Amino acid sequence: MSQKLETKAIRTQMERSQYMEHSTPLHLTSSFVFEDAEEMRAAFAEEKERNIYSRFTNPNTSELVEKVADMEGAEDGVSFATGMGAVFGTFAALLDSGDHIVSARAVFGSTHTLFTKFLPKWNIETTYFDVEAIETIEDLIQPNTKIIYAESPTNPGVAILDLAFLGQVAKKHNLILVIDNCFATPYLQQPIKFGADIVIHSATKLIDGQGRVLGGVTVGRKDLIREIYLFARNTGSALSPFNAWVLSKSMETLAVRVDRHCQTALTIATFLESHPKVNWVKYPFLKSHPQYALAKKQMSQGGTIIAFEVKGGLTAGQRFFDSIKLLSLSSNLGDSRTIVTHPASTTHSKLIEADRLAVGITDGMVRLSIGLEHYEDIQNDLTQALDKI
Q: Which residues bind ligand PLP (CB under 6 A)?
A: 82-84, 87, 108, 151, 155, 180, 182-183, 202, 204-205, 214, 216
CB of 182 to ligand PLP, least distance (A): 4
* Nearer Cβ to ligand PLP (205/261): 205
To ligand PLP, the closest distance from the beta carbon of 139 in angstroms equals: 26
* Distance of alpha carbon 178 from alpha carbon 181, whole angstroms: 9
Provide Rg for the chain, Cα atoms. Answer: 21
CB of 285 vs ligand PLP, minimal distance in Å: 19
Contacts 24+ apart (CB under 8 A), 5-12: 5/70, 5/71, 5/186, 5/187, 5/255, 6/187, 6/255, 8/67, 8/70, 8/71, 9/67, 9/70, 9/71, 9/251, 9/252, 9/254, 9/255, 10/251, 10/252, 12/63, 12/66, 12/67, 12/70
Buried b (16+ CB within 10 A) or exposed e, 23-35: ebeebeeeebeee
In one letter, which amino acid is 350? K
> Among 321, 308, 307, 319, which residue's Cα sits nearest to residue 276?
308
| SS3 assignment for 239-299 | CCHHHHHHHHHHHHHHHHHHHHHHHHHHHHHHHHHCCCCEEEEECCCCCCCCCHHHHHHHC
Nearest approach in angstroms of CB 174 to ligand PLP is 26
Q: Minimum distance between the CB of residue 214 and ligand PLP, rounded to whole angstroms?
A: 5
Beta carbon nearer to ligand PLP, 66 or 151? 151
User: Please, which residue, 182 or 370, has the CB nearer to ligand PLP?
Assistant: 182
Question: For residues 64 and 214, which CB has a smaller minimum distance to ligand PLP in the complex?
Answer: 214
Q: Can you name the residues that pair with 147 across neighbouring β-strands?
A: 101, 176
Report, in Å, the least distance between residue 78 CB and ligand PLP.
Answer: 14
Which CB sits closer to ligand PLP, 239 or 310?
A: 239
Nearer to ligand PLP among residue 202 and residue 218 (C-beta): 202
- Closest approach, Cβ 48 to ligand PLP, in A, equals 32
What residue is closest to ligand PLP based on CB?
Answer: 83
Nearer to ligand PLP, 190 or 316 (CB): 190
